[in-house]
Structure 1
Amino acid sequence: MNQLQSMRVFVKVADLGSFVGAAGALDLSTAVVTRHVADLEARLRVRLLNRTTRRLSLTESGATYLERVRHILDDLEGVEQMVVARNQEPVGTLRVVAPVVFGLHSLAPVVQSYAERYPDVMPDVTLADRHVDLVEEGFDVGIMVARQMRSASIVTRRLTTGYMTVCATPAYLEQHGTPTRPEDLLTHPCLSRPAEQGSDEKVFTGPDGEVRVRPTNAIAANNTEMLRQFALLGMGVAILPSYLIGRDLASGRLVPLLGDYHLPKIEITIAYPSRLHLPAKVRTFIDHLVAHFQQTEAQSRDPRAMTPVRSAGRSPVAGAPVYADDLPVSALPPVEGARPLRKPSRGHVAAPSPI
């Protein structure tokens, strides 16, 4: 029998846990499905499945073989799909879901530039801070912030990395003093979302290693944009994601604090249902997203962007310099000797605010 087909049959039997179920899914007879698996075992001289009257289970060798075969079949499908996709144009509705704050502050520019490049695709963006089942709810692409998704039918890919920033208004710092160490937060009202595990402990890494503090929140809120508004009103020291407050730091409305310490990074990933038969609209949007944020990261690593920047109309607060790598590229003042950014041409990936 055809070895490649036998591999496909074996994967289907393993996924469904049944010869009968695999036969129905593949439109084959149960006898043919059984024969394919038996031929594979004979060829490999090893048992891949344990069979009882009640159920099937993978042997240790079967589990190892399944994992490798799945990758081989996925790669083969990907090659065939790539060849076919060259003659396909991205068209139709593209359903995208993303967390509310990240979507509002970082997603609009990339959706706009994608829509310009592929006018036959209509982006349909949903913002939600709940768990989303991409397959069941019919989304083509999902963006996840600090959340893992494990499913055989879902593929994930790193998009970018975010950073939590401790900050406050100049007026608040003038009145209450400027924290210089994580322990100083214990004497200030703080504005941050509680950790998902139910603990408010913050873990900083600094010159002397790890520092754990449990600051007292001044107010409870389940949305970081609301916490940003409270911070701008001078209600306390805020701990907020960099993609949310870039413009506030650039304008001097907020001042970054604890420059010698950092909090754990925020991993931002793309998720989409299976790489098999990926529509051109999905493939091109994912590529566009990745290129967009890769350009952002490259610019944020540019040494020229590491010079301190004075806030417009304000003097920096003592001990709290503002660095250009915390700010949106469009908000940076000119760097002496640097060439101005060129206006992006149609379809070019514009530089978004860094995470």
Structure 2
Amino acid sequence: MDRLACMRAFVSAVELGSISAAAAELDLSSQLAGKQIRVLEHGLGIKLLNRTTRRQSLTDGGRVFYERAKNILAEMEAAEALIAETRSTPRGRLRISAPITFGSHALAPEIPAYLKQHPEVSVDVSLTNRTVDLVDEGFDVVFRTGPLSDSTLLARHLASLRMVLCAAPDYLKSAKKLRKPEDLQHHECLVFSHTSLRTQWSFEGPHGRETVPITGRFSTDSGEALRAAAVAGMGVLLQPHELVAEEIKAGRLVRLLPKYEPPARPLHAMYAPDRRMTPKLRSFLDYAVQRFGVKQQSADA
């Protein structure tokens, strides 16, 4: 006989005061409810209830077992509710924070397809290069680039952002030759003030990794502003491929040092630890991994 069903009959009998009341609550016959409690007692090897024709009372062992059984049944109900919730339809408002460049050029174009898949979800995207506090500021998901600091948040690893070194043809006409990373020390660099990129740039080349200090008269935490400055011929730019791809295709920017690859920037989707993950959050995290996750190459690729 189902042990949990027997426990449920016992707990109900204790809380409702009689086996007949428990049977009515559980939609069972009094005979079956009584049999379930006797099976439970037999399996445990102790008497749980003292029963007479007029009243019932807990034995000492029954009192101890009742407290534990009540907690076990509550945990089971919570687990069943969680499963039901994860299977339900995603709905409600989803608040997302993302860096400006990634949010504008990669995330935003993918949001319409997500909303089409989940018509009962609405999305509120906040774009900022500031490190937001997910919990205090009420976000469901935050995207972060660069190495992760110690955090109580959980993270989904996504495909790293490919970085590109480039400059406008007009700048290159009058600037010194740029043949290797160390030559950047003699160039006007456009400084992204938000990360470690504000002081040094690294490259993977024929002789391994090279890191060079950089300086420049123009710095900002906006990739878009840096791109505009680069197109205007103000200096050399190091930013994600998504930001500069169209400018390079159009010839307004030129890729530099092709033999030296800037290390890609790690990208993660982060969320608070939560045993009761909502369907809207789960659906969006799965979507983010699908759209921005590391692509698996085929065996013969």
TM-score, with structure 1 as normaliser: 0.57
Check 1:80–1:248 CA distance in 2 against 1; reply closer, same or farther (3 A cut): farther
Relative to 1, partners in 2 of residues 1:158 and 1:77: Cα closer, same or farther, differing over 3 Å? farther
Provide the rounded CA distance (Å) in 1 between the counterparts of 2:278 and 2:210.
47
The one-letter amino acid of 2:215's match is: T
Aligned position for 2:109: 109
Asked if 1:179 is matched to 2:178, the reply is yes
What SS does the aligned partner of 2:135 have? helix
CA apart distance, 1:117: 1.0
Task: Give 2:284's aligned residue.
Answer: 285
User: How far off is 1:149 after superposition?
Assistant: 4.9
1:140 — aligned with what?
140
**2:104 aligns to what SS in structure 1?**
helix
Q: Which residue of 2 aligns with 1:223?
A: 222
Structure 1, unaligned runs of 5 or more: 1-31, 37-75, 304-355
Unmatched 5+ stretches in structure 2: 1-63, 69-75
The aligned counterpart of 1:122 is: 122
Counterpart for residue 316 of structure 1 = none
**Identity, % of aligned positions:** 35
Aligned 1:1-355 pairs, distance under 5 A: 83-85=83-85, 87-152=87-152, 154-176=153-175, 178-194=177-193, 196=195, 200-294=199-293, 297=295
Asked whether the equivalents of residues 142 and 272 of structure 1 are also in contact (C-alpha less than 8 Å), the reply is yes
Partner secondary structure for residue 142 of structure 2: strand
Q: After the TM superposition, which segments of 4 or more aligned residues of structure 1 sit over 6 Å from their partners?
A: 76-79
CA offsets 1:147-191 (integer angstroms, 9 cap, x no match): 525444x21111220122110112222333551211221222111
Q: CA deviation at 1:208?
A: 1.6
Shift in Å, 1:119: 1.0
SS in 2 for 1:90: coil
Change (3 A) 1:291 1:226: same
Local SS of the residue matching 1:249: helix
Higher mean C-alpha deviation, range 259-268 or range 201-210: 201-210
Work out the CA distance in 2 between the residues paired with 1:109 and 1:78.
38
**Could you report, residue by residue, the CA deviation over 1:223-280 in whole angstroms, capped at 9, with x for unpaired residues?**
2211111001011111112221121122222111111112232101011111411110
Counterpart CA distance in 2 for 1:77 and 1:263 is 52
Measured at CA, do residues 138 and 199 of structure 1 come closer, stay the same or move farther in structure 2, by a change above 3 Å?
closer
State the secondary structure of the residue aligned to 1:267: strand
TM-score using structure 2 length: 0.67
Letter in 2 for 1:162: L
Supply the AA of the counterpart residue of 2:282: R
Deviation at 1:82, TM superposition (A): 7.2
CA distance in 2, matches of 1:157, 1:78: 26
Question: Deviations 1:186-217 (Å, cap 9, x if unpaired)?
Answer: 22211122474597122322102232322321
C-alpha distance in 1 between matches for 2:271 and 2:122: 18
The answer to whether the 8 A contact 2:230-2:237 is kept is yes
Q: 2:103 & 2:193 partners in 1: Cα distance?
A: 21
Q: Which moved more, 1:226-235 or 1:245-254?
A: 245-254
Task: Give the structure 2 partner of residue 59 of structure 1.
Answer: none
Q: Secondary structure at the match of 2:192?
A: coil
C-alpha spacing 1:165/1:197, structure 2 compared with 1 (3 Å): closer
State the one-letter code of the partner of 2:155.
T
What is the count of residue pairs matched by the alignment? 227
Question: 2: distance between equivalents of 1:113 and 1:195?
Answer: 30
Structure 1 position 121, deviation (Å): 0.4
- CA RMSD in angstroms, aligned pairs only: 3.0
CA distance in 2, matches of 1:219, 1:274: 40
The one-letter code sitting in structure 2 at the alignment partner of 1:188 is H
